[in-house]
Protein backbone atom coordinates (compact mmCIF):
# COMPACT_ATOMS: atom_id res chain seq x y z
CA UNK A 1 0.00 0.00 0.00
CA UNK A 2 2.78 2.46 0.89
CA UNK A 3 4.60 1.61 -2.33
CA UNK A 4 1.55 2.63 -4.36
CA UNK A 5 1.28 5.95 -2.51
CA UNK A 6 4.94 6.79 -3.05
CA UNK A 7 4.63 5.84 -6.73
CA UNK A 8 1.60 8.12 -7.10
CA UNK A 9 3.49 10.95 -5.41
CA UNK A 10 6.45 10.54 -7.77
CA UNK A 11 4.19 10.49 -10.84
CA UNK A 12 2.28 13.57 -9.67
CA UNK A 13 5.53 15.33 -8.86
CA UNK A 14 6.91 14.61 -12.34
CA UNK A 15 3.77 15.99 -13.92
CA UNK A 16 4.17 19.25 -12.01
CA UNK A 17 7.90 19.63 -12.56
CA UNK A 18 7.61 19.05 -16.29
CA UNK A 19 5.43 22.14 -16.74
CA UNK A 20 7.03 25.11 -18.47
CA UNK A 21 8.06 27.78 -16.01
CA UNK A 22 9.34 25.39 -13.33
CA UNK A 23 12.98 25.94 -14.32
CA UNK A 24 12.36 29.68 -14.46
CA UNK A 25 10.94 29.59 -10.93
CA UNK A 26 14.03 27.75 -9.66
CA UNK A 27 16.30 30.41 -11.18
CA UNK A 28 14.36 33.20 -9.45
CA UNK A 29 14.85 31.75 -5.97
CA UNK A 30 17.13 34.00 -3.98
CA UNK A 31 19.63 33.22 -1.22
CA UNK A 32 17.87 31.31 1.53
CA UNK A 33 18.45 30.41 5.14
CA UNK A 34 18.77 26.79 6.28
CA UNK A 35 15.15 26.77 7.53
CA UNK A 36 13.89 28.02 4.17
CA UNK A 37 15.90 25.35 2.35
CA UNK A 38 14.38 22.64 4.56
CA UNK A 39 10.87 23.94 3.94
CA UNK A 40 11.42 24.03 0.18
CA UNK A 41 12.86 20.51 0.17
CA UNK A 42 9.78 19.23 2.00
CA UNK A 43 7.55 20.74 -0.66
CA UNK A 44 9.40 18.80 -3.35
CA UNK A 45 8.72 15.44 -1.74
CA UNK A 46 5.17 16.12 -0.59
CA UNK A 47 2.18 16.25 -2.86
CA UNK A 48 2.72 19.91 -3.66
CA UNK A 49 3.08 21.47 -7.09
CA UNK A 50 4.81 24.78 -7.73
CA UNK A 51 2.60 27.45 -9.25
CA UNK A 52 3.56 30.22 -11.63
CA UNK A 53 5.73 33.06 -10.44
CA UNK A 54 3.66 35.68 -8.63
CA UNK A 55 4.64 39.32 -8.08
CA UNK A 56 3.11 39.55 -4.61
CA UNK A 57 0.65 37.94 -2.22
CA UNK A 58 -1.44 39.96 0.22
CA UNK A 59 -3.20 38.66 3.34
CA UNK A 60 -5.47 40.44 5.81
CA UNK A 61 -5.07 39.80 9.53
CA UNK A 62 -7.62 42.29 10.80
CA UNK A 63 -9.32 45.38 9.49
CA UNK A 64 -6.19 47.52 9.71
CA UNK A 65 -3.27 45.11 9.21
CA UNK A 66 -2.20 43.86 5.80
CA UNK A 67 0.65 41.39 5.19
CA UNK A 68 2.43 41.66 1.84
CA UNK A 69 4.84 39.03 0.53
CA UNK A 70 6.83 40.21 -2.48
CA UNK A 71 8.26 37.62 -4.88
CA UNK A 72 6.78 34.60 -3.05
CA UNK A 73 7.19 30.94 -3.89
CA UNK A 74 3.68 29.51 -4.15
CA UNK A 75 2.86 25.79 -3.95
CA UNK A 76 -0.54 24.10 -4.28
CA UNK A 77 -1.55 20.81 -2.71
CA UNK A 78 -2.69 18.15 -5.17
CA UNK A 79 -5.23 16.73 -2.74
CA UNK A 80 -7.06 19.96 -1.85
CA UNK A 81 -7.28 23.68 -2.55
CA UNK A 82 -4.55 24.50 -0.04
CA UNK A 83 -1.79 26.90 -1.01
CA UNK A 84 1.58 27.29 0.74
CA UNK A 85 3.30 30.64 0.35
CA UNK A 86 7.00 30.98 1.19
CA UNK A 87 8.67 34.35 1.42
CA UNK A 88 9.33 37.35 3.61
CA UNK A 89 6.14 38.96 4.93
CA UNK A 90 6.02 42.67 5.68
CA UNK A 91 3.20 44.13 7.75
CA UNK A 92 1.51 47.31 6.61
CA UNK A 93 -0.93 49.25 8.75
CA UNK A 94 -3.84 50.84 6.94
CA UNK A 95 -4.54 53.99 8.89
Annotated domain spans of the chain = 2-93
Task: Determine which of 35-39, 53-57, 73-77, 90-94 has the lowest per-residue pLDDT on average.
Answer: 35-39
Provide the pLDDT confidence category of residue 4 given band limits of 50, 70 and 90.
very low
Helix (H, G, I), strand (E, B) or coil at 6: helix
Over range 64-82, report the average pLDDT.
Answer: 84
Helix (H, G, I), strand (E, B) or coil at 68: strand
Region 2-93: CATH code: 2.20.70.30
What is residue 86's predicted lDDT score, i.e. its pLDDT? 82
What is residue 94's predicted lDDT score, i.e. its pLDDT? 77
Provide, rounded to the nearest whole percent, the portion of the chain with pLDDT above 70.
55
Mean pLDDT of the chain: 70
Amino acid sequence: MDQHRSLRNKIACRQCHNKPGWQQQLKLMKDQSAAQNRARNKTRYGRLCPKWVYDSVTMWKSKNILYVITKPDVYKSLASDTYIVLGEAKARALS
